[in-house]
Chains A and B, each alone.
Chain A
Amino acid sequence: MDNFKIKLKKRRILFIVIVIAVTALGVLDALSLLPGSNKETFTAGMMDGISWSTYIALGLAALAASIRITRMLKDEALLRKAYNKENDERLKMIRSRAGMPIILIMSILMFVVAIIFSSINETVFYTLLAAGYIQLLCAAGVKIYCLKTM
């Protein structure tokens, strides 16, 4: 259980770093200090909007996760439940069938690369974004199916 607590604390640090990074980027963008922040055409504005909604979603998810971890670390019953959930053999099997965590890592990498490419190539941006979302949707579908049937 102590190892699990250390693991959770490390995860919380990672999530807090993500929240801080997203907030810093948001502040820089609001002050128009970010290079390549182009909203002059409709397409550029849309790409900028999609990039920012992805950033914000990532930041909010990280914030929610860090709050959840803080609550778990304070409450022994919640911590025990989380430990059981993380080490549950059935859930482990379902996660592996849904391709987790590699699909999630790949999708996040795709989103990051898509955001980098947003100011270089429009087609690459849309392709990476669509592939990342579809990949996540497929994984979620398989996970829901397995949860219902197993």
Chain B
Amino acid sequence: MKTRIRELRKANRLSQEELALDVGTTRQTITSIEVEKYTASLVLAYKIAHRFGLSIEDVFDFSEIEDS
């Protein structure tokens, strides 16, 4: 699933490690989500979106799901 995490991280000058610590996950998981290898659970997606002060739809791209 496509996400805006990398873009939002850079805009907020946040490293993967810092974001991982804030949302209670590992740096590797953030990397996997960014490169679309892993789809975050609803809880993790909520935590990430909440960290940036946005809604889940603003961070994660659901267009593929809507199209199918």
Contact = CB atoms under 8 A, between A and B. Distances in A.
B38 A150 contact: yes
A40 interface: no
B21 A81 contact: yes
Interface residues of B, number: 14
Contacts, number: 33
A91 B21 contact: no
Contact of B29 (A81, A83, A90): A90
B25 A89 contact: yes
A90 B21 contact: no
Given A89-B41, A150-B32, A80 B21 contact: yes
Contact of B25 (A90, A147, A149, A150): A90
Interface string B23-44: 0111011001000011011011
A85 interface: yes
Interface string A69-101: 000000000001101110111110000000000
25 contacts: A81-B21, A83-B24, A84-B20, A84-B21, A84-B24, A84-B25, A84-B26, A85-B26, A87-B24, A88-B25, A89-B25, A89-B40, A89-B41, A89-B43, A89-B44, A90-B25, A90-B26, A90-B28, A90-B29, A90-B32, A91-B26, A91-B28, A91-B29, A147-B28, A150-B38
Interface of B: 20-21, 24-26, 28-29, 32, 37-38, 40-41, 43-44
Given A81-B21, A88-B29, 7 more contacts: A85-B26, A88-B26, A89-B40, A90-B26, A147-B28, A149-B37, A150-B32
Interface of A: 80-81, 83-85, 87-91, 147, 149-150
